[in-house]
Structure 1
């Protein structure tokens, strides 16, 4: 689970979200995020709440750079100590940022249909996922909010596969990116990656005759 600060609700909401995450931490809560509109909601103001969550062992996963520029992503990385970035659409505007993300294996949680719905991207054919992958960034594919955006994870994989011209092995690679970007222990990551490889091999082999 991830507890997200609703950024548009301000610092009082941030305080309450952090308090609940730390003092009433439910089983399975592993990360602490920041969602909602980005314009006019500066990331650095949330530093004390992320510091508190990180000190309690939660991972930092704020949204950044969906509808704002690359500096928002830099702020999430340097101030909020982000380990993954929600969306990160504008990262392609800054080659040094792409290089940093790729070098440090900081995943971008890409949500193609959501990005169209929020007008972060004007045309699905212009989605920057291609540039992200070409730069070597660890890209995961996500549904964001399925009821709100009328999609699901299968559809998002289909969209990404078409944009990236992926075959079955390529789609499996995207799924394994998600495993790498997860906060599972190494043994759990190996197990899931092996399951993906086995499923893909069986799929390519076809039904037994």
Structure 2
């Protein structure tokens, strides 16, 4: 499948899940600008052209600054509902059947917005989206690690007090500070039945991945690309098949990787790691999940390789087993419909 049209058709038809995407970071320009105008939020661009310039990040710390400014437009229950409805519609239009979305809960708590307000808006739109389009959404509330253990404690307390049943995990993101300090916090979260889903190894080296594994008992790693710098860690990840949620365009935009051509995604798959494909903060990085599959194709994955990535997402999700089986069968059927007889077999595996 070397022609663009066949690949685009295949990717569009492919049933997909997304496991590493931030709700607030998925706010599309029209929603961001409308809410900024509604609440009179200063500093947010008022045109798509200005917004595109605003989203040109010099490094990861700059990205975090912009992200925190953007979430200022979310203040009322109806704002969170509008955001969720918009994001759900965008995902469903890409044939995403299921998504586990990070919610930057602490960035709202620190502004005095109650968790009950946040979750009420999310849930109203989630249920409506499931009813109208069939897409399933689940939540991973998180906190920025650079704000310390106290921020994580406040976030977890709010989740345990107000979180709906659709909350499935607990995350830590932001600037990659030492993960060891959150060991006790994650012990509480796991004891309450929340999955351990931290960011690690995005731009601070392999140690943060080891910490997420040994101290936080991670069940999936957000990003994890720096694991490739440690052969022992690569061997561990291969043997355990601990999933890594990789977002190539994001890694380039935040300067974790110099270019898409240099992204380690093919090497990760060739090393036998369980890799899923994701967008992270799609409008902020000028991407979506369809484009990320095209990126993977440009990096050497043919139709079978792309189907394998889609299947990895299903495997690494927290869907019930019977729903995983049904989605895998759909992926296989889609590959069979689209696959050209001359497709290459030397695909990264």
TM range (shorter): over 0.9
Structure 1 position 136 matched with structure 2 position 293: no
Q: 1:77 — aligned with what?
A: 213
Q: 2:304 aligns with which of 164, 169, 173?
A: 169
Local SS of the residue matching 1:26: coil
Deviations 1:70-124 (A, max 9, x none): 1110000000000111111111111110111111111111110100111111121
Local SS of the residue matching 2:339: helix
Structure 2's unaligned 5+ residue stretches are 1-138, 341-349
Task: Report which of the two structures shows the higher radius of gyration computed on alpha carbons.
Answer: 2
Q: 2:315 — aligned with what?
A: 180
* Offset of residue 189 of structure 1: 1.1
Higher RCO, 1 vs 2 (CA within 8 Å, ≥6 residues apart): 2
* Offset of residue 174 of structure 1: 0.5
TM-score scaled by structure 2?
0.56
**Superposition pairs for residues 40-55 of structure 1, below 5 Å?**
41-55=177-191
TM-score scaled by structure 1?
0.92
**Superposition pairs for residues 29-40 of structure 1, below 5 Å?**
29-38=167-176
* Offset of residue 157 of structure 1: 1.0
Check the 8 A contact 1:21/1:53 in 2, yes or no: no
Structure 1 position 93 matched with structure 2 position 229: yes
Q: What value does the CA root-mean-square deviation take over the aligned residues?
A: 1.3
* Offset of residue 13 of structure 1: 1.4
Structure 1's unaligned 5+ residue stretches are none
State how many pairs are aligned.
202
Aligned-partner Cα distance in 2 for 1:97–1:178: 21
Aligned-partner Cα distance in 1 for 2:267–2:334: 28
